[in-house]
Amino acid sequence: MRIVDRNYLFARGWKSAAPILFFVPGFFLYLFIAVGPSLATAVYSFTDATGIRGIAINWIGFENYDEFLFRGAASRDNIAALTRTLYFSFFVTTIQFGLGLLLAVLLKRRLRGTAIFRTIFFMPVILGVAIQGLIWKLFLLPSRGPAAQVFEWFGSSSEFLGGQPRQAFIWVIVVQIWANVGITMVIFLAGMQTIPEELYEAARIDGANGWQLFTQVTWPLLTPAVNTNFLLNIIGSLQAWQLFLVLIGYRPGTQVLGYLVFAEGFGQTSGSVTSAFRQGYAAAASIALFMLVLIIALSANFIVTQREKKYMP
Amino acid sequence: MTAAQEAPVETPKRQPSMKGTFKRHKLLTYVVLLAFTVLYVGPLLMLVMTSFKSLPEFFRNPTGLPESFGLSNFTEAWELAKFPSYLWNSFFYTAVATAICVVTSVLVAFPIARGYFKGANLVLTMYIVALFLPPALIPQFQLILNLGLFNTRTGFILLFLVNPIGIIILVNYIKSVPRELDESAAVDGCGYYRFVLTIITPLIRPAIATVTVLHAIGIWNELVLPTIYLTNDDLYPVTRGLIAFEGLYGSNWPQLAAAVLMLMLPMLVLFLFLQRYIISGLTAGAVKG
């Protein structure tokens, strides 16, 4: 059997195996550390695996799922975390999408200084969660920080990240959007660059105003970028939890599903990883999160396809 | 004044009035952009100003300008934690893992793009599907643990050797390189490896740069994996080191701010130089539909 395709023109004989030989290491790594473990998550979710080497792993069927969803106070917390994940995702997606679009539209006008503005708004993306989180922890310092000062001017006050769970949760949403709106913005900007300028000119000659230019030209022709951002924002925000780790830690009443997986699988505090943690249970939680992402992403994808049919027949 | 009375004069006036609207729009645009800029620069400014204050000064006047611009916070923070070691570790992990990832990715992407072996399309589909699979977190941990690589540099680097998005970017780019090139090189007796290394690689440099930058940033900024896999602070990268520093000295904000500032500086400088590649990487394929 020949593995190498007929259109391969380089050496014949044993040397023709070269593309396969060089292909194998990368592909092996992919199977071994990416796809394999990814699929194995489902397998682990049916076991009582711990994070300790040498302890036997037993098959326990649907036990983890049963416990995760239906048993006692913990399951009620889990369901609450699930709902919270949906809230988080909804607010992050809609606001980040809206602000990203607004910024892109404003920067598209090519006024003086737009390159600098774009750099500024994109900057947090490359700083990473640890630095994003610490910067905002300082900015939101209760009673002393700049944000507290602003609240004071308006005769109000807030405990910010240290306040009620709901309050802390809202601030994490704010930071999440602050940190990632730059990605949404540059994707919109890249999409806008593919719209031919003549279309705007033609529409202007026909007497279209700014708003009409946006709704009749920009928005329909931006469909690919709109769809990408919509899906990326939904999937990204459902899985995001790292800012919770940096900003508020594992606090009851604030966790989202992603954080729950981490906390159950690896312990709530960092550094003490090797003590007995419930990795089977965490794997089940992680499959639950995956199902949630899958269902929502598929529905979103359905909406997106309908939109594409409408605008790009 | 009625609309009917105004109608005849409107035509000649149209030009200046449109200019007026344009100016007003322009002003409004700047106002909105500047408002956002305050939200972005404000937190950074607070960080910079805090890093120059002494602790008592910070308590007295947390938001104002610092009284002087001494560097004592920076030197003290530098001595309190193993920052040179964190920086070196981050650099080491990022460089080694990115190099291996990019080289293997090019060698995977090229035959896929050319269809040089059977099932190439299936393999490409597998890389795309990988983007939607459940997170590998738990089994990956079991794997590293059972290989005896927990809390080691090797085990940590192993986690960053694969980048499916990178493969997709490379495959798409290689497809734009004309196939005739392969044919004439083969006819001239050029070997496969030499061809990929000396002819294809320079031609796909923009895609390689994009993948490199994207992958490297991901590793440099990763916080969760070092939290899970590294318990020895000699092995900490910058992100984990910063959080550990916060845990120990977090109440001393001026020092912490100085540490954050020092550790974010390399990234910030790189960003200003590589912005184009970073942005092209993040938007690659996003707008083609």
| A 77-96 near B (Cβ less than 8 A) | none
Residues A202 and A84 in one domain: yes
Query: Is any Cβ of chain B less than 8 angstroms from the Cβ of A196?
Result: no
Q: Cβ contacts (< 8 Å) between A49 and chain B: which residues?
A: 138, 142
Q: How far apart are CA A175 and CA A258, in angstroms?
A: 17
> Is residue B65 in a domain?
no
Geometric angle at alpha carbon B106, from A13 and B289, rounded to 5°: 120
Residues B120 and B220 in one domain: yes
| B 137-156 near A (Cβ less than 8 A) | 137-143, 145-146, 148, 150
> What DSSP designation does B2 have?
-
> Is residue A58 in a domain?
no
Q: Give Cα A256 to chain centroid, integer Å.
A: 13
> Is residue A179 in a domain?
yes
Task: Check: CB of residue A260 under 8 Å from CB of residue A53.
Answer: no
> Is residue B192 in a domain?
yes
Query: Is any Cβ of chain B less than 8 angstroms from the Cβ of A12?
Result: no
Residues B43 and B164 in one domain: no
- Domain extent, residue A40, equals 13-44
CATH number of the domain bearing residue A209: 1.10.3720.10
The pLDDT confidence band at residue B285, using thresholds 50, 70 and 90, is low
From A226, A95, A227, select the one nearest A173 (Cα to Cα): A95
Decide if the complex's ipTM is over 0.85. yes
Of residues A33, A130, A135, nearest to B47 (C-beta): A135
CATH number of the domain bearing residue B240: 1.10.3720.10
From A232, A276, A242, A252, select the one nearest A74 (Cα to Cα): A252
How many separate domains does chain A show?
2
Answer yes or no: is pLDDT of B86 > 90. Answer: yes
Residues B167 and B267 in one domain: yes
pTM across the whole model: 0.90
* Lowest-confidence pick of A46-50, A308-312, B97-101, B111-115: A308-312
How many separate domains does chain B show?
2
Interval B99-147: pLDDT, tens: 999 999 999 999 999 988 888 999 999 998 888 888 899 999 999 999 9
A135/B256 touch (CB, cutoff 8 Å), yes or no = no
Q: Cβ contacts (< 8 Å) between B130 and chain A: which residues?
A: 30, 34-35, 38
A41/B243 touch (CB, cutoff 8 Å), yes or no = no
- Domain extent, residue B43, equals 3-51
Query: Is any Cβ of chain B less than 8 angstroms from the Cβ of A284?
Result: no
Residues A282 and A176 in one domain: yes
Answer yes or no: is pLDDT of A242 > 90. Answer: yes
Q: How large is the greatest C-alpha to C-alpha distance in chain A, in angstroms?
A: 82
B37/A22 touch (CB, cutoff 8 Å), yes or no = no
Residues B150 and B225 in one domain: yes
Min Cα distance B45 → chain A (Å) is: 9
Q: What is the mean pLDDT of chain B?
A: 87
Query: What single letter denotes the amino acid at residue B255?
Result: Q
